[in-house]
């Protein structure tokens, strides 16, 4: 991005990496994001900013928008957003693990021969029950489940979003399960302001050189489409 002419600030939130201070969860780092945007605006002279985050960093970006409608935020790059709930995790396991196992001949042979414990069957039943639940607002903080606050932040955002999803990643699969199960998230995904980019071979952190290059090229290309010559 810097080579393409965009001023860039990569920062560690407090308590992580090179940053001092007490570690906070991703739901409590809005002040850190605000401080980073302030510094970038002051030192690089930018007026429009793109927030780029992976996993709970992507989630934190949406929570930032829910808490502070910062007019400087011009775009979002969200990579494999973290939306885990008990129900969402159960839906993902049922669809992407148990369904595959039920199609395997060796699984049924293990059942017939008694090599599959009753505990495994019980676990499948529990996951089927959990898959029907929604996040419990009573245990999710005063603002409701963080997934709902993320959706609210995204809904009220007038800028453009690049959503990047890895094919070899359960976090990305859980995100898609939430979209399939929740009409609000499905509507957000249909917005003409959202560009979805799938990388089928990528893992959660885009750890291979090939997927890193694809991610970088895709981000630079998207930045050019939003006329972001002065953003980061």
pLDDT (tens digit, 9 = 90+) per residue, 154-188?
999 999 999 999 999 999 999 998 999 899 999 99
**Could you give the domains of the chain?**
26-84+150-225 (3.40.50.1820), 87-130 (no CATH)
pLDDT at residue 136 in the model: 46
Give the end-to-end CA distance of the chain in Å, rounded to a whole number: 8
Q: Crossing angle of helices 146-155/56-67, nearest 10°?
A: 60
Average pLDDT over the chain reads 84
Tens digits of residue pLDDT in 210-223: 999 999 999 999 99
What is the rounded average pLDDT of the residues 40-66?
96
Tens digits of residue pLDDT in 12-48: 999 999 999 999 999 999 999 999 999 999 999 999 9
In DSSP terms, which residues pair with 79 in a beta bridge?
Answer: 54, 164
pLDDT at residue 182 in the model: 92
- Taking CA atoms, 23 is separated from 9, 12, 20, in Å, by 20, 11, 8
pLDDT at residue 56 in the model: 96
């Amino acid at each position: 991005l810097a080579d393409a002419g965009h001023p860039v600030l990569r920062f560690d939130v407090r308590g992580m990496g090179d940053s001092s201070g007490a570690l906070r969860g991703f739901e409590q780092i809005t002040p850190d994001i605000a401080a980073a945007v302030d510094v970038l605006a002051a030192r690089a002279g930018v007026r429009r900013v793109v927030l780029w985050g992976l996993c709970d960093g992507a989630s934190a970006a949406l929570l930032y928008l829910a808490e502070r409608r910062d007019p400087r935020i011009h775009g979002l790059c969200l990579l494999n957003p973290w939306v885990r709930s008990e129900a969402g995790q159960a839906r993902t396991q049922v669809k992407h693990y148990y369904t595959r196992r039920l199609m395997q001949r060796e699984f049924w042979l293990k059942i017939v021969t008694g090599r599959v414990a009753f505990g495994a069957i019980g676990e499948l039943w529990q996951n089927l029950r959990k898959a029907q639940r929604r996040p419990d607002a009573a245990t999710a903080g005063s603002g409701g489940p963080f997934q709902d606050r993320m959706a609210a932040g995204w809904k009220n955002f007038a800028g453009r979003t690049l959503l990047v999803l890895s094919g070899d990643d359960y976090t990305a699969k859980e995100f898609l399960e939430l979209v399939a199960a929740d009409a609000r998230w499905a509507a957000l995904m249909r917005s003409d302001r959202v560009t979805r980019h799938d990388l089928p071979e990528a893992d959660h952190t885009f750890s291979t050189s090939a997927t890193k290059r694809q991610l970088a090229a895709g981000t630079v290309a998207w930045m050019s489409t939003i006329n972001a010559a002065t953003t980061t």
